[in-house]
Amino acid sequence: MRTSLRLVTAAARRFARAAGHASSASVATTDAPDRPVAVRPTTAAGRWRYAAHRGPGAPVLVVATLMVLIVAMLGVERATGVSVLPDRLFAGLQPPPRKFPVLPASAPTDISIAKVGLRAPVHRVGLAPDGTIAVPELDKAGEAGWYDQGPTPGQYGPAVIVGHVDTTTGPAVFHDLKKLDDGDQVEVTREDHSVAIFEVTSVQRYGKEKLPVDEIYGDFSRPNLRLITCGGRWVGGETGYADNLVVYASLVKARDG
């Protein structure tokens, strides 16, 4: 029932360095590879372990070749106005809003989601001694935690906010994230009194052994937000909930608080 999100220290270090927050004091050394590509749960708290990257194989090279061809075809379409790509090729792909501001660094203090009636305080969390992303204590299950080794909401990159889905006494702060749809808005109030407004682009549920690490943590092309909690069915034991629920959102505007 508790959500504790595993980052192997090498991955955490890469994430923090890209965001400009790397600190040797907060990240222990490790022999783990610099480019983790797979995830495996290790405890009921939902911790994650990364498998080693073994280099590109033939399937990767085939995909890379196809991507080059697609980019070339897109160039032809743009130049000629003639569609040369199948309409179904992009079915289900929902690109984020194109226009966005970029905000200076300022830590979040509150999160609000009108769609599900959520308004909650946000405080800083870092890496726990065991290498997991710390989350609010169970007696503060109505609060969310911002991973302070990453970007603040509104900076380039994925700002990560985690929270419990429930406790033994009932629903917790992120219980209703599963009800969000594309286009819903998430508002994050920051210490500088500005409000960063994000638009949901996707809500995904992943088995804890199949979490796409680079997709969640690796997009520094624009200001993004990731809300993460547990989801799926309860399986008990060391796993707890079978899945992790991830809300992807992109910054669309900001206002004074």
**pLDDT tens digits for range 37-65:** 333 333 333 333 323 333 445 544 555 56
Count of beta carbons in the 10 Å neighbourhood of residue 239? 20
Q: For residues 99 and 250, what is the distance between their CA atoms, to the nearest angstrom? A: 10
pLDDT at 90: 41
181 within some domain: yes
Range of the domain at 169: 5-52+94-256
68 within some domain: no
Structure tokens at 253: 């505007």
- State the DSSP code for 179: G
pTM score of the predicted model: 0.67
208 within some domain: yes
> For the domain that residue 181 is a member of, what is the CATH number?
2.40.260.10
**pLDDT tens digits for range 60-85:** 455 556 556 655 655 555 556 555 54
69 within some domain: no
125 within some domain: yes
75 within some domain: no
How would you write the pLDDT of the chain (257 residues) with one tens digit per residue?
444 444 434 444 555 555 554 333 322 223 333 333 333 333 333 333 323 333 445 544 555 565 566 556 555 555 565 555 454 344 344 555 568 999 999 999 999 999 999 999 999 999 877 776 788 888 899 999 999 999 999 999 999 999 999 988 999 999 999 999 999 999 999 999 999 999 999 999 999 888 898 899 999 999 999 999 999 888 877 667 889 999 999 999 999 97
Domains identified in the chain, total number: 1
- What separation in angstroms does the CA of 242 have from each of 25, 142, 207, 213? 33, 22, 6, 17
Contact by Cβ (8 Å): 172, 142? yes
